Amino acid sequence: MSRSQGPSALKRKRLDSQSGSLTEHESKLYDAIRSKTDMGMSLQDLRRETGLQNNLFTKAIKTLQAKQLIKEVKNFENKTRKHYMATEFEPSKEITGGAWYDNGQFDTEFIKVVKRELVKVIYDQENATLAEISQAIRMKNFLTVNLSDQELKQILDALVLDNEVLKVVSTGMGGYKAGKECYKCCKRREPNLASMASIPCGVCPRINQCTPDGIISPTTCEYFKKWLEF
């Protein structure tokens, strides 16, 4: 899952010298793409905007790509659609889907790792503010990607929804200013009631069709049979 580049790190190459040798069509196309900076443009939009003939258009795209003035990027919203961008830009979040998408693909593994690390950090510090967590993550240097505070917060919020982390507002007692938002690990709870979730009917996809004397019924139920196998 390792990601070598931060999506937000802009590689700025000076390419102006090369653009001098472009044909009129190529220039038109290049300017159109470049004007959209890190958003780039889809093939369809480009075609519409430049109004170039099909064969000219295709040729110009090819040339620009060969000269490394533009590149094809993946748009996470629609991976099959061709999307172009000037080489000097890195695709924006709107195009890549942000840190959580890799090449248009939702990066579950990466998120898992980040989550695990964040929980570790919070666990070690008991209580931590976003700034402290961000600092600790940077110090640990385990990510090849630089996550912004906003992205870290997104993960933290997900951890809250996962019931792994609790967001609390400081009472001013633990050394924090009162009213400051902190994160702390959820107490490892004794297994809650989960009474429905622990019986077959509680998680049964067919409970709506299940009747006492019907084809699907508790007396003939296979889920029950499995559950009661000792």
The contact set with other proteins (CB under 8 A) reads 76-77, 97, 100, 106, 108, 111, 154-155, 157-158, 160-163, 166-173, 178-180, 186-187, 189-190, 192-199, 201-203, 205, 207, 210, 212, 217-219, 221, 224, 228, 230
Q: Which is nearer to ligand SF4, 57 or 224 (CB)?
A: 224
Amino acid letter for position 88: E
Q: What is the nearest approach in angstroms of other proteins to the Cβ of residue 85?
A: 20
Pick the closer one to other proteins by CB: 54 or 208.
208
- Interface with ligand SF4, residue 228, by CB under 6 A: no
Cα separation, 127 vs 167, in Å, equals 10
Answer for which of 210, 212, 226, 229 binds ligand SF4 (CB under 6 A) is 210
Beta-carbon contacts of 197 under 8 Å, excluding residues fewer than 6 positions away, are 203
Stretch near ligand SF4 under the rule CB under 6 A, chosen from 4-12, 66-74, 137-145, 213-221: 213-221
CA distance 119 to 126: 10
Region of 22-30, 137-145, 177-185, 210-218 interacting with ligand SF4 (CB under 6 A): 210-218
Residue 204 lies near ligand SF4 (rule: CB under 6 A): yes
104 or 200, CB closer to ligand SF4? 200
Contacts with ligand SF4 in 116-175 (CB under 6 A)?
none
51 binds, among ligand SF4, other proteins, none (CB under 5 to 8 A by kind): none
Q: Which is nearer to other proteins, 72 or 181 (CB)?
A: 181
206 binds ligand SF4 (CB under 6 A): yes
**What span, in angstroms and rounded, lies between the C-alpha atoms of 26 and 61?**
7
Name beta bridge partners: 41. Answer: 84
Judged by CB under 6 A, the chain residues 171 through 200 that form the site for ligand SF4 are: 200
Closer of 30 and 100 to other proteins (Cβ)? 100
CB contact set of 125 (below 8 Å; sequence gap of 6+): 132, 133, 136
Residues binding ligand SF4 (CB under 6 A):
200-201, 204, 206-207, 210, 216, 218, 221, 223-224
